[in-house]
Amino acid sequence: MFDLASRDIKYLSGVGPQRASVLNKELNIYSLHDLLYYFPYKYVDRSRIYYIHEIDGTMPYIQLKGEILGFETIGEGRQRRLIAHFSDGTGIVDLVWFQGIKFLVGKYKVHQEYIVFGKPSVFNGRINIAHPDIDNASELKLSTMGLQPYYNTTEKMKRSSLNSHAIEKMMSAVVQQLREPLPETLSLPILTEHHLMPLTEALMNIHFPANPELLRKAQYRLKFEELFYVQLNILRYAKDRQRKYRGYVFETVGEIFNTFYAKNLPFELTGAQKRVLKEIRRDVGSGKQMNRLLQGDVGSGKTLVALMSMLIALDNGYQACMMAPTEILANQHFETIRELLYGMDIRVELLTGSVKGKKREAILTGLLTGDVRILIGTHAVIEDTVNFSSLGLVVIDEQHRFGVAQRARLWTKNAQPPHVLVMTATPIPRTLAMTLYGDLDVSVIDELPPGRKPIVTIHKYDAHRVSLYQSVHRQIAEGRQVYIVYPLIKESEKIDLKNLEEGYLHICEEFPDCKVCKVHGKMKAAEKDAQMQLFVSGEAQIMVATTVIEVGVNVPNASVMIIENAERFGLSQLHQLRGRVGRGAEQSYCILVTGYKLVEETRKRLEIMVRTNDGFEIAEADLKLRGPGDLEGTQQSGIAFDLKIADIARDGQLLQYVRNVAEEVVDADPTGIRPENEILWRQLKALRKTNVNWASIS
To the nearest 10°, report the CA torsion of 155, 161, 163, 166.
Answer: -160
- Report whether 447 contacts 270 (CB < 8 A): yes
pLDDT band at 671; cut points 50, 70, 90: confident
pLDDT band at 495; cut points 50, 70, 90: very low
- Report whether 296 contacts 444 (CB < 8 A): yes
Q: Which helix (H) or strand (E) holds 275?
A: helix 271-284
In three-state secondary structure terms, 262 is helix
In three-state secondary structure terms, 55 is coil
Q: What is the CATH number of the domain that holds 589?
A: 3.40.50.300
Please check whether residues 329 and 436 belong to one and the same domain.
yes
- Report whether 577 contacts 605 (CB < 8 A): no
Bridge-based pairing of strands 120-123 and 113-118 is unpaired
Nearest-CA neighbor of 175 among 151, 200, 197? 200
Instruction: Tell me whether residue 672 is in a domain.
Output: yes
pLDDT in tens, 152-172: 998 888 888 888 888 998 999
Residue, of 242 and 327, whose pLDDT is higher: 327
- Report whether 487 contacts 548 (CB < 8 A): no
Percent of all residues in the chain with a pLDDT value above 90, rounded to a whole number? 43
Residue 210 pLDDT greater than 70, yes or no: yes
Please check whether residues 362 and 469 belong to one and the same domain.
no
pLDDT of residue 497: 54
- Report whether 375 contacts 392 (CB < 8 A): no
pLDDT of residue 141: 58
- Gap between the Cα atoms of 666 and 673, Å rounded: 11
pLDDT in tens, 516-562: 999 888 888 788 888 888 998 899 999 999 887 755 567 889 999 99
- Gap between the Cα atoms of 253 and 281, Å rounded: 9
pLDDT in tens, 380-430: 887 778 889 999 999 998 754 555 555 566 666 666 789 999 888 777 776
Residues 6+ apart with CB under 8 A from 269: 277, 301, 304
- Helix residue ranges, H only, 481-614: 500-510, 525-536, 571-578, 600-611
pLDDT of residue 317: 95
Please check whether residues 466 and 335 belong to one and the same domain.
no
pLDDT band at 329; cut points 50, 70, 90: confident
R_g (Cα) of the chain, nearest Å:
31
Residue 635 pLDDT greater than 60, yes or no: no
Please check whether residues 276 and 403 belong to one and the same domain.
yes
Average pLDDT, the chain: 85
Last residue of a domain, one of 118, 145, 172: 145
CB count within 10 Å of CB 89 equals 10
Please check whether residues 484 and 580 belong to one and the same domain.
yes
Domain count, the chain: 4
Bridge-based pairing of strands 81-87 and 92-97 is antiparallel
Count CA within 13 A, CB hemisphere, residue 56: 1
Please check whether residues 470 and 604 belong to one and the same domain.
yes
Q: Please give the residue range of the domain that contains residue 540.
A: 456-612
Q: Phi and psi dihedrals of 620, rounded to 5?
A: -60, -45
Its pTM stands at 0.68
- Helix residue ranges, H only, 208-246: 212-244
Residue, of 301 and 143, whose pLDDT is higher: 301
Residue 215 pLDDT greater than 80, yes or no: yes
pLDDT of residue 510: 92
Instruction: Tell me whether residue 482 is in a domain.
Output: yes
Residue 450 pLDDT greater than 90, yes or no: no
pLDDT in tens, 551-580: 556 788 999 999 999 998 888 889 988 988
Please check whether residues 355 and 421 belong to one and the same domain.
yes
Please check whether residues 561 and 486 belong to one and the same domain.
yes
Please check whether residues 291 and 355 belong to one and the same domain.
yes
Strand partners, 43: 149
pLDDT in tens, 4-27: 667 899 999 889 899 999 999 999
pLDDT band at 267; cut points 50, 70, 90: confident
Instruction: Tell me whether residue 635 is in a domain.
Output: no
Residue 111 pLDDT greater than 70, yes or no: yes
Please check whether residues 270 and 226 belong to one and the same domain.
no
Residue 473 gets which letter from DSSP? H
Please check whether residues 134 and 230 belong to one and the same domain.
no
Instruction: Tell me whether residue 475 is in a domain.
Output: yes
